[in-house]
Structures are given as structure tokens and as C-alpha cells.
Amino acid sequence: MESAPDEQPSLPGDLQPPDEGPDAAPSRRRAARSRRRLFVGLLIAAVALAGTGVGAWAVITSLKTTPRGSETPAGPPARPPFFFRIGDVTADSTGPSAVNVARDASVEIAGQLSSYYDTVFMDPSTWQNGVPDRAWLLFDRSLRDRARQDSASLTLGPQSATLKSLRVENASVSVDVLIDPRGNPQAAVANVEFKARGFLVTGQPATVMNTVSFLLQLEAGEWVVFGYPTANTSIDAEAPTPSASASPASGATTP
């Protein structure tokens, strides 16, 4: 006799599949989901470990390829630019806006004179290499040759090479502005007082004094010097303190 199609041959008892009840299918689905979650977790962990390895490799490579101490060393701090303090400002005019015009002109004049003094007095490269040509652009073309000849009065002159350092103690400029009837500045007188202290290359303290009366006029929108009735520069070095060995011996009389 042939068995019915839905009948299965019997198996030995120890090989019989476990009896599957009504909850067997959900259990299989839960097991499958657990296996998928485990697989995804392992995959994410592998990727994370690979990323960590790459980052560590980059850091180690960077440390190996960048020798210690090869970073760009920090240079000396930049020298701050010099600026004049503006003192008295007067206006030779009776116009209602004359004071404001004179103040604006004094700011422009002080700015140009500050640039000049920063170059010829405060720049250490000028002490060694001389006054650069651009500094003389402050003077009118007709006056530049004469200003160069008077450099001992308008700059540090040949004594600049003896300087080692310099610090401004007092620097001011007082300006008197001539204003035309239409309210435009035409000319000005700028009186400069400049004092600085420093040291010579010999170690001696020194004082630099400069006083100048500049006559200026507007040319193409800029103030230029067309005269300087008075100008003087001095560098006074203090005498070194006498050493003990140079003093008179104890009990000796000085004639």
C-alpha cells in the first residue's frame, strides 16, 4: 500500500525534530532578528576599529614626519610705530568752521611728521644704513637737496651709528593753520619737540633732543615742508661712572 502524500516516514527517536508548538514560528523570527542585530553590531564595531586605526596611523605618521623643533620659531615682536602727540592747535581765520578745519589739518600734519620721525629717528635699520630716500619726500622738491645737507639737524646725523637702543620720552607737535576766506587750509607752522633716551653701543646712556619749526603747505592734497627756520638735533652721552680704582686713595689729598 502506498502511504498518503501527507504522511512522512518515521525517524528514530533520537533523530526526531523537536516538537514544534504553535509558538515555534515567532521564536524562529526572533532568533533571526537577533542574529541580524549581532551581525550589524559586529560590522559597526569593525568599521569603528578601522577608523581608529587610520586616525592613529595619521597621528603617528605626522609625529614621524615632523621633527621636533622644526616648527617656525616666533620672531621678535614687531616694533610699534611712532606717533606724535598733538599739542596746541590754532587757526588763522575767523570763519565759523575754522577750528574744525585746523584740527583736521593738524591730524594730517602730525601723521606725516610721525612717519618721518619713525623712519629717521626710531628705525634701527636707519641707524646702520642711513636715511632712506623715501624719507625726504616730506620736503618740497626745491628743498630736498638742502634738507639732505642739513641732515645733522633734521635727523640723527652721523651719530646714529653709535646708538644701540632708543625710547621716546616726550614728543609733541603744535600746529598753527592758515585758512583762506573760503575755509580751506593753505599753510601751516608745526613746532616739534622730541626727546628720547637710550643707550650707545658702548653701553653709555644717551639722550636725544630735537626741536624743529616746520613750514608746510598743501600740494596735491598732501602737506609738504617748504621751510624750517629752526632745526636742531643733539645726542648727549652721559659720562661713565668712575670705577672705585680710579678714585683717590684713602687719606690722599687732592690738589
**By C-alpha distance, which of 205, 223, 225, 203 is closest to 214?**
225
Residue 15 forms part of a structural domain: no
What phi and psi, each to the nearest 5 degrees, are found at residue 243? -75, 165
Q: Helix %, strand %, coil % for the chain, to 5?
A: 40, 30, 30
Residue 53 forms part of a structural domain: no
Residue 179 forms part of a structural domain: yes
pLDDT tier for residue 31 given thresholds of 50, 70 and 90: low
Q: Which residues contact 211 (CB under 8 A, 6 or more apart)?
A: 191, 192, 193, 194, 230, 231, 232
Asked if the model's pLDDT at residue 36 lies above 70, the reply is no
Q: Which of helix, strand or coil describes residue 247? A: coil
Q: Read off the pLDDT of each residue in 116-120 and give the average, rounded to a whole number.
A: 97
- Across the chain, what does the average pLDDT equal? 78
Q: What CATH number is given to the structural domain containing 198?
A: 3.10.450
Residue 72 forms part of a structural domain: no
Residue 134 forms part of a structural domain: yes
Residue 177 forms part of a structural domain: yes
Asked if the model's pLDDT at residue 5 lies above 50, the reply is no
From CA 68, how far away is CA 103, in angstroms rounded?
56
Residue 152 forms part of a structural domain: yes
Percent of the chain exceeding pLDDT 70 equals 64
Residue-range definition of the domain harbouring residue 219:
85-237
Residue 198 forms part of a structural domain: yes
Domain count, the chain: 1
pLDDT digits (tens, 9 = 90+) for 184-207: 999 999 999 999 999 999 999 999
Asked if the model's pLDDT at residue 212 lies above 50, the reply is yes
The pTM of the full predicted model, rounded to 2 decimals, is 0.66
**By C-alpha distance, which of 163, 150, 168, 160 is closest to 212?**
150
**By C-alpha distance, which of 194, 220, 18, 188 is closest to 118?**
194
pLDDT digits (tens, 9 = 90+) for 75-111: 556 889 999 999 999 999 877 789 999 999 999 999 9
